């Protein structure tokens, strides 16, 4: 008999809030289906009635975690149409904000993954170490989320000379904490048993599903928009793309861990570069947006964000198409979850980082067809946590 386990439906990104239905035969997941639209807010349509400057505030709120990546990609698209030369200082500031976002997003993911396998200590640790990063955001931009730093032609706020030592201090304090956390996580035998060989995506799967970001990089495909199509200051900095070959949950975690160090490296280099550039030169003047179309890309913590903007010369776009990375990454569940047991499927779902814990905010415990209560998201997490307990005992 096939049992349907609903996971969802609330999921926070723009087009991907969804209800996963895991079709199970006994313990094994045999198929997976989606139901989306819970979070459809009509952002693309709203943007057609906004001016180019106003759209920054809308795209920032597509996703609270990626609230730099979307404005970043959008700015790239519009600057491509208007052919703007962004001042170097603004480019570096953009990179700093983008990388700080990657830091906080990856730490957030580590915490949630820990929660899913029943290691709530990891959850608390990772989120504790994430707080200093949010403090940095508050120092630089004035808000913990939704930073409003971007504008066409540059950034809104400067990083002053007084702020730089404070930023360095917090970053330096973060490094040993990250070492500690990752050492503890990556050496844990239970975590090895839970994550290795689970939810494998082969390189060919990734190519078929056109997956991006850490999901693709963990399967040996070195796609990183920051390297492939350098934007802002990424072309002027020294850093490397992290890849792994295995494609399982462990590889995805490892890629994210190592990316945190690369991000810290990028921020340090950018800070050093900023110190040499004159203060205050943070924005180019853009008078109007000509007719044309632009494709802007940015590497969000989850992968490539793509914005397509078509302008007819007026002060608002004719069409604004947005593609968030989870839009393609979520589809890979069909490969990574099928054939896994239910408790591992939770983890495979979490490994893609489809924003965070749909499962935690399980609202509907009823199957849409039979109106029968089957199992809700918390049961699913509990199931996964029980499995960890069993493995722990075995050791």
- Residues 144-173 touching other proteins, rule: CB under 8 A, are 144-146
Q: How far apart are CA 359 and CA 352, in angstroms?
A: 14
Using rule CB under 8 A, residue 298 touches other proteins: no
Cβ contact 147:159 at 8 Å: no
Q: Which two tokens stand for residue 74?
A: 């959008």
Among 4, 170, 186, 210, binds other proteins (CB under 8 A): 210
**CB nearer other proteins, residue 199 or residue 317:** 317
Residue 63: partners with Cβ closer than 8 Å, 6 or more residues away = 12, 13, 14, 70, 324, 355
Using rule CB under 8 A, residue 308 touches other proteins: yes
Using rule CB under 8 A, residue 40 touches other proteins: yes
Phi, psi of 33 (to 5 degrees): -135, 160
Among 362, 384, 385, 388, binds other proteins (CB under 8 A): 362
Q: How far apart are CA 91 and CA 273, in angstroms?
A: 10
Q: Which one of 86-94, 165-173, 204-212, 264-272 is the stretch in contact with other proteins (CB under 8 A)?
A: 204-212
In the complex, the smallest distance separating the C-beta of residue 307 from other proteins, rounded to whole angstroms, is 10
Q: Which of residues 226-265 bind other proteins (CB under 8 A)?
A: 228-230
Using rule CB under 8 A, residue 67 touches other proteins: yes
What DSSP state is assigned to residue 279?
Answer: T
In the stretch 6-25, what mask flags binding to other proteins with x, by CB under 8 A?
Answer: ---xx-xx-x-x--------
Using rule CB under 8 A, residue 53 touches other proteins: no
Using rule CB under 8 A, residue 318 touches other proteins: yes
Phi, psi of 90 (to 5 degrees): -65, -40
**CB nearer other proteins, residue 79 or residue 271:** 79
Q: Which one of 64-72, 184-192, 245-253, 266-274 is the stretch in contact with other proteins (CB under 8 A)?
A: 64-72
Residue 305: partners with Cβ closer than 8 Å, 6 or more residues away = 66, 69, 70, 72, 73, 297, 298, 299, 322, 323, 324, 325
Give me the numbers of helices (H) and strands (E) for the chain, helices first please: 15, 8
Q: How far apart are CA 246 and CA 219, in angstroms?
A: 6
In the complex, the smallest distance separating the C-beta of residue 321 from other proteins, rounded to whole angstroms, is 4
Using rule CB under 8 A, residue 268 touches other proteins: no
Q: Which of residues 328-357 bind other proteins (CB under 8 A)?
A: 328, 331, 334, 355-356
Q: Which one of 276-284, 319-327, 343-351, 385-393 is the stretch in contact with other proteins (CB under 8 A)?
A: 319-327
Cβ contact 346:81 at 8 Å: no
Residue 134: partners with Cβ closer than 8 Å, 6 or more residues away = 104, 144, 145
Among 42, 369, 370, 371, binds other proteins (CB under 8 A): 42
**CB nearer other proteins, residue 83 or residue 245:** 83
In the complex, the smallest distance separating the C-beta of residue 16 from other proteins, rounded to whole angstroms, is 9
């Amino acid at each position: 008999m096939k049992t349907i386990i609903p996971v969802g439906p609330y999921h926070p990104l723009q087009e991907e809030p969804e209800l996963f239905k895991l079709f199970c035969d006994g313990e094994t997941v045999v198929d997976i289906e989606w139901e989306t639209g819970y979070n459809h807010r009509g952002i693309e349509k709203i943007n057609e009635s906004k001016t180019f400057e106003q759209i920054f505030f809308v795209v920032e709120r597509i996703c609270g975690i990626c609230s730099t990546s979307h404005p970043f990609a959008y700015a790239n698209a519009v600057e491509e149409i208007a052919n703007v030369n962004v001042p170097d200082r603004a480019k570096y500031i953009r990179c700093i904000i983008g990388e700080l976002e990657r830091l906080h997003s990856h730490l957030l993911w580590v915490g949630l993954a820990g929660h899913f396998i029943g290691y709530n200590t990891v959850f608390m640790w990772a989120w504790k170490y994430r707080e200093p990063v949010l403090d940095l955001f508050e120092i630089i931009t004035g808000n913990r989320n939704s930073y409003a730093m971007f504008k066409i032609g540059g950034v809104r706020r400067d990083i002053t000379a007084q702020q730089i030592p404070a930023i360095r201090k917090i970053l330096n304090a973060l490094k040993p904490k990250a070492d500690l956390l990752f050492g503890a996580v990556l050496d844990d035998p239970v975590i090895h048993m839970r994550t290795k060989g689970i939810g494998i995506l082969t390189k060919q799967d990734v190519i078929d599903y056109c997956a991006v970001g850490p999901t693709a990089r963990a399967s040996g495909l070195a796609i990183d928009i920051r390297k492939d199509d350098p934007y802002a200051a990424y072309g002027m900095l020294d850093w490397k793309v992290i890849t792994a070959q295995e494609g399982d949950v462990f590889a995805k975690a490892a890629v994210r861990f190592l990316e945190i160090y690369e991000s810290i490296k990028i921020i340090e280099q950018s800070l050093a570069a900023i110190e040499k550039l004159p203060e205050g030169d943070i924005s180019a003047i853009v008078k109007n947006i000509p007719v044309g179309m632009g494709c802007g890309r940015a590497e969000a913590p989850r992968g490539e964000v793509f914005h397509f903007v078509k302008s007819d010369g007026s002060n608002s776009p004719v069409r604004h198409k947005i593609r968030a990375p989870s839009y393609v990454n979520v589809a890979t569940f069909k490969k990574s979850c099928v054939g896994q047991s239910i408790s591992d499927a939770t983890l495979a779902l979490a490994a893609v980082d489809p924003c965070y814990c749909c499962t935690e905010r399980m609202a509907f415990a009823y199957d849409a067809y039979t109106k029968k209560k089957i199992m809700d998201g918390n049961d699913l997490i509990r199931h996964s946590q029980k499995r960890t307990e069993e493995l722990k005992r075995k050791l």
